[in-house]
């Protein structure tokens, strides 16, 4: 219908600790929305396919060392290099399901001890999500799931600090979903809140910028 064709897509972000289940939920949500006939893409940050992304990937797999501030700015640059494409996709009506965004940037870097406001600064002017979903799991439960891939941040003690940082970021506009529920329940809940958000955007909700 006309509404679907002429209106913009929604920017939907999933956040959470490592092993919270974000990545599989993003995939499920993508196929659900595709099945309903929406134009939708699944994105993730870091986007390891770009030059900056390859530097980040090498850092995460401990193949290179970087100053904490420098890697923070690379994560941010990795979002900036995708900003214009992101805006173009949204304005052309495509909904984006994004696995991690600026909130991961702030939560992980500030967990290392970097100043919270300093961490937020390079994100100013990036597109603000229409919906942020926090997949909530305790660091202990996440660690029990095993399969920490051995990347730099995948350690219980550090994830505890990240969880504390996320708590400072969560505001009333976020939707928190219990990540320990059965996968199908999480999926159903995500579908509901996502569709609500897509409808709001179709009705003309304007795109805004960080930090609102």
Binding site for ligand TMP (CB under 6 A): 18, 45-46, 60, 75, 100, 104-105, 108, 153
Residue with Cβ nearer ligand TMP (105 or 139): 105
> For residue 122, what is the DSSP state?
G
CA distance 124 to 120: 7
Residue with Cβ nearer ligand TMP (105 or 129): 105
Least Å distance, CB 200 to ligand TMP, is 25
Least Å distance, CB 79 to ligand TMP, is 7
Q: Are 101 and 129 in contact (CB under 8 A)?
A: yes
* 211 cis-preceded (ω within 30 degrees of 0): yes
Least Å distance, CB 121 to ligand TMP, is 13
Residue with Cβ nearer ligand TMP (38 or 45): 45
CA distance 37 to 200: 17
Least Å distance, CB 127 to ligand TMP, is 15
Q: Cα–Cα distances in Å, from 185 out to 135, 140, 192? A: 12, 21, 11
> For residue 42, what is the DSSP state?
E
CA distance 198 to 164: 30
Least Å distance, CB 160 to ligand TMP, is 14
- What φ, ψ does residue 11 adopt, rounded to 5°? -100, 105
Least Å distance, CB 73 to ligand TMP, is 10
Tokens of 141: 């439960």
Of 108, 120, 110, 11, the C-alpha closest to 60 is: 108
């Amino acid at each position: 219908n006309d509404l679907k064709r002429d209106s913009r897509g929604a920017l939907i972000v999933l956040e959470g600790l490592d092993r919270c289940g974000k990545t599989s939920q993003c995939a499920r949500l993508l196929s659900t929305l595709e099945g309903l006939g929406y134009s939708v893409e699944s994105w993730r940050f870091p986007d390891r396919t770009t030059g900056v992304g390859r530097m980040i990937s090498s850092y995460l797999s401990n193949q290179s060392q970087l100053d904490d501030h420098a890697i923070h700015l690379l994560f941010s640059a990795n979002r900036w290099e995708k900003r214009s494409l992101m805006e173009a996709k949204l304005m052309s009506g495509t909904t984006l399901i994004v696995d991690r965004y600026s909130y991961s940037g702030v939560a992980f870097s500030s967990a290392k001890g970097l100043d919270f406001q300093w961490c937020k600064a390079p994100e100013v002017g990036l597109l603000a999500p229409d919906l942020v979903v926090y997949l909530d799991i305790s660091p202990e439960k996440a660690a029990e799931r095993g399969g920490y891939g051995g990347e730099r941040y995948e350690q219980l003690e550090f994830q505890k600090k990240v969880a504390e940082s996320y708590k400072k970021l969560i505001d009333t506009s976020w939707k928190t979903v219990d990540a320990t529920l059965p996968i199908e329940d999480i999926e159903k809940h995500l579908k509901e809140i996502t569709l609500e958000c897509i409808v709001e955007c179709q009705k003309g909700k304007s795109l805004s910028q960080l930090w609102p």
